[in-house]
Amino acid sequence: MGKTAGDPERAPEQRPPTAGPVLPMAALPSPPTTAAATRAPRAPVETPPPRRGVVLFDLDGTLLDDLPLIAEVAADVLHDAFGTPVEEARVHYLATTGMPFEAQLAQLYPEAPPDLRAGASRTFHQRKVTEAYARAKPFPEVPKLLKTLSGDGWNLAVTTGAETEMAELLLEREGLRYWFDDVLGSAEGTKREHLAEYRRRYGEVPMFLVGDSRFDMEAALSVPGVVAFGRASSLGAWTLTPQDLRRWGAQWAAFSLADLPTVLERSGRPGRRTPAGRAQRPRRS
């Protein structure tokens, strides 16, 4: 369950563990069917007014360090379905990440038969669950980051293009669901719709979207009053730099989100510029 925004600090015995039990893959729901994707949106959960503001996080590649795993699956699917060389397919996927996979296929292979694209999409979503999400873990700084932001009075939510129940289960598995008031997934619309609903619900409170793609930055810029922050990434020969994200609208971007509490604190002070973020690449094992 999510925390209650208006509550003071919880008693120590109520603190959640830093990591949840690893659930067997049989417990993970299947990717959404057409009927599931078109079902009526859930009724919004009433939450108290934010104490300081709202920070919404993208899931894949922002909270979860799963982009290399997902890119591996996508490259294999594109190779099998369209004959694209694996490394080229991997770069194509990473260059368009942030969009729904179906939209990526339509952009990358506009001349391909719709049935072929639809079949590739189904295969990708299934393998994303069984191969990528099965091994996905949060970035090392994320558990402490969420605890700090909650303690500082920020209301937290997740906005993702993934299926809502899948996102909920992944966050529960990793011991992170506790910190979020809402998890908004494909059942609740697109990221732009999530942001617009939050802006409508909470008015003019400070609101931030933390994402890892051009699509995320553009979604934030499309909703008045939402500020974009970005996580840069470096995956072998492919790099999305802080400069790239700032060029697409991020007010701050870095390879790690460890400094985000300080950035949020400074962003609320009149006359203070948001720091640019660290440009060095992270070390990967």
Query: Domain span at residue 251?
Result: 48-65+138-267
Same domain, 94 and 122: yes
Same domain, 142 and 164: yes
- For 210-268, how does the pLDDT look when each residue is reduced to its tens digit (9 = 90+)? 999 999 999 999 999 999 999 999 887 789 999 999 999 999 999 999 999 999 999 85
Does 77 lie in the same domain as 55? no
Given the DSSP bridges, would you call strands 233-235 and 238-240 parallel, antiparallel or unpaired?
Answer: antiparallel
Confidence (pTM): 0.79
- Tell whether 174 and 204 lie within a shared domain: yes
Q: Do residues 105 and 127 touch, judged by C-beta distance below 8 A? A: no
* Domain-located, residue 124: yes
Q: What is the CATH number of the domain that holds 154?
A: 3.40.50.1000
Look at residue 97 and tell me if it is in a domain: yes
Q: Which residue has the higher pLDDT, 5 or 52?
A: 52
Residue 233, classed as helix, strand or coil, is: strand
In this structure, the answer to whether residues 142 and 103 fall within a common structural domain is: no
- Angstrom distances, CA of residue 141 to CA of 95, 144, 210, 257, 258: 25, 6, 14, 7, 6
Tell me whether residue 92 is in a domain.
yes
Dihedral (C-alpha) 90, 65, 96, 78: value to the nearest 10 degrees?
30
Among 133, 148, 166, give the residue marking a domain's end.
133
- Sign for the CA dihedral angle at 210, 212, 216, 217 comes to positive
Is the Cβ–Cβ distance between 66 and 133 less than 8 Å? yes
pLDDT at res. 46: 58
In a domain, 153, yes or no: yes
**CATH code for position 129:** 1.10.150
Token pair of 272 as six digits: 């203070």
Task: Verify that 155 and 58 share a domain, yes or no.
Answer: yes
165 and 99 within one domain: no
Residue 224 included in any domain: yes
Looking at residue 235, what is its pLDDT? 86
- Structural domain tally of the chain? 2
Last residue of a domain, one of 100, 133, 166: 133
Q: What is the pLDDT of residues 43-83, one digit of tens each?
A: 555 556 778 999 999 999 999 999 999 999 999 999 999 99
